[in-house]
Each structure stands twice: as structure tokens, then as C-alpha cells.
Amino acid sequence: MTLSNRSPSDRPPRVLALGAAACGLAMIAGVPLGGAAATSVGCLSLLVFGLPHGTLDLELIKARSRGPWTGLAGLLVLYLGCAALILALWQVAPVLALGAFIVTATVHFSEDWDGTGARFLELGVALGLLCAPTLIHRDAMARIFVGLTGQAQGSMIADLMFLVMPVALVVALVAVAALWSSGRRSRAIAATLSLASMVLLPPIVGFALYFCLFHSPRHFRESLSALHWLGFARWGWVVVPLTGAAGLIALSLFGMEIRPALPERIMAASFMTLSILTVPHMLVPLLVEALARRGTPVATRDAAIALGQHPRAALAD
């Protein structure tokens, strides 16, 4: 089945625009958006508004898959196995875990910008978004990474992102122009707002705006569209319990944290939770595809494409 050029996500980014405007006015009014309170609220927002968009992963695979491994138990083994490996990496080599998370996030966020005409440009927008804060807030990024990893070497990742940032931003701007010229003007506006927020706002707040007000709602709508699930009564029974389970993971990580400052504990637990859930979100479809190629009746290639790229892609011929 071929979809129209307008997907469920191709709509004016009004909520993102309102959020960016509100944060801009708050900065003008002197609200300390880089302070401990704003940082904690931003991190908690990542969990409350960001986690639900990944809760439909299992349903997307099961809806288009066949074989014993596509049952709930088999998929949970794959997901929990990947999550456990990432958690172990955070404990053993946190700087490496952070680097792996940033690479994974770049690939994942690039899915928001299809329509540029080139995979390189899609990746450029994603990398530009992640590196953009180092243009003005390089020291803040270094402090965040040191806080996340608990190691001074965490600042090296911020330094590397600062070096990559100029090229990434240029590629991102070219991608915005490509989106505009291809008719994806809502997407181009969203990219512009997201980039501006990541450059001008404190890093945690800027990232929370993009993640909570554009990325997560977009993927959630596409997942519901792919599953043909309309109304809370249809999807609430899946999304609410799994979001709660993800929240318990965050609470557990928060309890494990030994950092004395509450904002740093919240920040570390939030981003560790995101990485622990994002990596399986990206890797499990690839594992499914690899097992299918080896002749294991795990899932169809469409399921891997649906989850690894875009849910709507699985509906195309």
C-alpha cells in the first residue's frame, strides 16, 4: 500500500512553536532556565512526555511478524537483553556509554527529517541538533556530560561535539532548505525551531523542547497510524502500563545514584533511562532482520523497517 506524501506527522509544529516562544519570553523575563529547578523539570519532562512514544514497539513488530520469537516472551528477551547490556556499559564505562547513546540518538533523530532527499542530510540535521548547544553553551554541555558520566573525561565528548558542530550546522541548514523546497515546509519550520532552541536555550531545556514537543509526538502518531489504533481506549492499555514500567526503571536508577545533588541525580537517571530504552528501540529491529536473514522465523523484514526507520514505511509496497 502506498501512502500519500502527507504523513500523520506533517502538520504545523504549533506546540513546538508555542513552547519555544514561552521559553524565549521566560529568558527575557530573567527566569533562570539553566538553573537546578528548570533542569530537573526538563529531565522529568523527558520521561513523562518522551517515554510513551516507544511503548508501541512490541505491537508494531507483532502486528507484522510471524514466528515464535515474535511472541511477548521472545521480544522481551531481546529488549531486556539489550537494555541490560547498556546498563552494564553505564556501570563499567560510562563515557563509552554516553558516546554510544549520542551515536544512537543521531541515527534515531535523523528519522524525523525524511524528505531532504539524502540520508546524509537527515543525519546532518540530527547531529546538528545534538551539537548545536556547544555553540554558546559549551561549558554547560561539558558539565552535563561530566555529571552524567561521573568522570572528568566526559567533557571530551563535549569538546568533540564542539569540533563537529560547525559542519553539522551547515549540513543541517542545507537540509532545512531541501525540506522547504521539497514541500515539507512544516518539517522545515520544525527543524528551524528545534535548531534555534538548541542553540539559544540552555541545553537540557532546548533538548526537552525538541524531544517532548516534536520528536515523541511525531513518532507516537506514526505508530498509531501504522497500527490503525484510534482513541485512548484502543492504545491506552498498552501505553500506560509500559510507560509506568519505564518510569520504574528511572526510579530504580535514581535510587542507585550516589551523586549528592538532587538535580544531578535526576539528570543522570533520566538520560540513563532514555539510553537504556533507546538502544533496544533501534537494535531489536536489526536483530530481528538479521535473524530473519539467517532463516530464523522471527519476523518479516517489514517489521524491522517499521520500527527501525518509520512505522509508515512498513505500510508501503
Of 213, 238, 232, the C-alpha closest to 49 is: 213
Cell of residue 115, nine digits: 524528505
Evaluate whether 23 touches 129 at the Cβ level (below 8 Å). no
| Radius of gyration of the chain measured on its C-alpha atoms | 19
| 310 annotated to bind ligand | no
Longest Cα–Cα distance of the chain, Å, equals: 61
Rounded to 5 degrees, what are φ and ψ at 280?
Answer: -60, -35
| 219 annotated to bind ligand | yes
- Would the CA dihedral through 303, 309, 311, 312 be positive or negative? negative
CA distance 151 to 312: 41
| 281 annotated to bind ligand | no
Q: Burial letters for 231-240: b for 16+ Cβ neighbours within 10 Å, e otherwise?
A: eeeebeebbe
Q: Which residue has the cell 530481528?
A: 288
Cell of residue 16, nine digits: 513546538
The binding site for Fe cation consists of 53, 108, 215, 219
The binding site consists of 53, 108, 215, 219
